């Protein structure tokens, strides 16, 4: 067995300078070489469907393209709902996909998707058990419809959709339609009512999950998002120092962790710590 240090990188949201700062902190030089023994999983939403981030979006995907070209085994890129929108998938009413993505940005994202370089799920083989990593999380209802698979089997099943036309499988919920959809997919599931709430009501988790996309706690206002269910508040620990939330029913070692920093228009002066997980791999 060989040890690998996995870093799970949350949403970047069009902030090219933030990505550059993170890569520098990870020891990834301008030559885009990832240090030995390091694996990076980026949970999606590299880009943002907002015309203000048009140049940043292109700069970001170009940098990540170089990283994947240089380190094909060490950088795992996931697809978020903003990448989904750039690929002609569903969009929120206020988004501007025409202004946000130039031809180069769309071309790179489409090539990733068509070539299965951008996935929907990743697996971390942590010492405490397998952890499923997606953009928005695997909902309880979708997991049940899939036949209650293990984390590994769930990730493999989710990734069967990679490369397919987005419209053929994408199933957004509340964030697009305003109607809660308990089967919302792993790019679009709303964090409180579609993702966390149903898992907590069952008081059981089959495996741990890490996701970006959103958090039940709004870091900028230092308060829960409006209409956060009491069960989510009761069973969630928030850590402002890392901008991570951990949701966990009692009497289980499994958890649901958000790593989304909720980056808004103003870039942070200092960055928060990244999530690091020790992983073991078979030689």
C-beta of residue 243 within 8 angstroms of C-beta of residue 219: yes
Token pair, residue 112, equals 């990733």
Q: What is Dmax (Cα atoms) for the chain?
A: 50
Question: Which residues is 41 bridged to in the sheet?
Answer: 8, 76
Does residue 71 contact residue 33 with C-beta atoms inside 8 Å? yes
pLDDT digits (tens, 9 = 90+) for 53-110: 999 999 999 999 999 999 999 999 999 999 999 999 999 999 999 999 999 999 999 9
DSSP string spanning 258-277?
A: E------SSPPSSPPPPEEE
pLDDT in tens, 247-267: 999 989 999 999 999 999 988
pLDDT tens over the chain, length 283 residues = 356 799 999 999 999 999 999 999 999 987 899 999 999 999 999 999 999 999 999 999 999 999 999 999 999 999 999 999 999 999 999 999 999 999 999 999 999 999 999 999 999 999 889 999 999 999 999 999 999 999 999 999 999 999 999 999 999 999 999 999 999 999 999 999 999 999 999 988 999 999 999 999 999 999 999 999 999 999 999 999 999 999 999 989 999 999 999 999 988 888 999 999 998 765 4
Pick the CATH number of 2-281 from 1.10.287, 3.30.530, 3.60.21, 2.30.29: 3.60.21
For the chain, the average pLDDT equals: 95
Q: Residue 126, Cβ neighbours under 10 Å: how many?
A: 15
What are the residue boundaries of the structural domains of the chain, listed by start?
Answer: 2-281
Nearest to 206 by CA among 131, 134, 127: 131
């Amino acid at each position: 067995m060989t040890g690998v240090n996995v870093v799970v990188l949350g949403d970047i949201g069009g902030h090219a300078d933030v990505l550059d700062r993170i890569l520098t902190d990870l020891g990834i030089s301008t030559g885009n070489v990832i240090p030995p023994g390091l694996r990076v999983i980026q949970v999606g939403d590299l880009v943002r469907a907002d015309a203000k981030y048009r140049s940043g979006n292109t700069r970001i995907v170009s940098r990540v393209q170089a990283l994947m070209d240089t380190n094909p085994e060490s950088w795992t890129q996931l697809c978020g709902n903003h990448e989904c929108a750039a690929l002609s998938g569903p969009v929120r009413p206020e988004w501007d996909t025409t202004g946000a993505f130039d031809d180069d940005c769309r071309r790179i994202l489409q090539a990733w998707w068509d070539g299965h370089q951008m996935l929907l799920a990743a697996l971390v083989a942590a010492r405490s058990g397998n952890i499923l990593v997606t953009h928005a999380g695997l909902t309880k209802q979708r997991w049940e419809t899939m036949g209650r698979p293990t984390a590994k089997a769930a990730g493999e099943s989710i990734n069967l959709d990679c490369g397919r036309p987005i419209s053929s499988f994408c199933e957004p919920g509340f964030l697009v339609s305003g109607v809660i959809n308990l089967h919302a997919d792993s790019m679009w599931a709303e964090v409180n009512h579609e993702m966390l709430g149903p898992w907590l009501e069952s008081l059981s988790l089959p495996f741990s999950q890490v996701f970006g996309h959103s958090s039940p706690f709004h870091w900028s206002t230092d308060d829960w998002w409006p209409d956060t269910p009491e069960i989510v508040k009761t069973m969630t620990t928030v850590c402002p120092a890392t901008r991570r939330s951990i949701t966990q029913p009692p009497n289980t070692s499994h958890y649901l962790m958000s790593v989304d920093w909720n980056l808004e228009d103003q870039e942070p002066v200092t960055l928060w710590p990244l999530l690091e997980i020790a992983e073991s791999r078979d030689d």
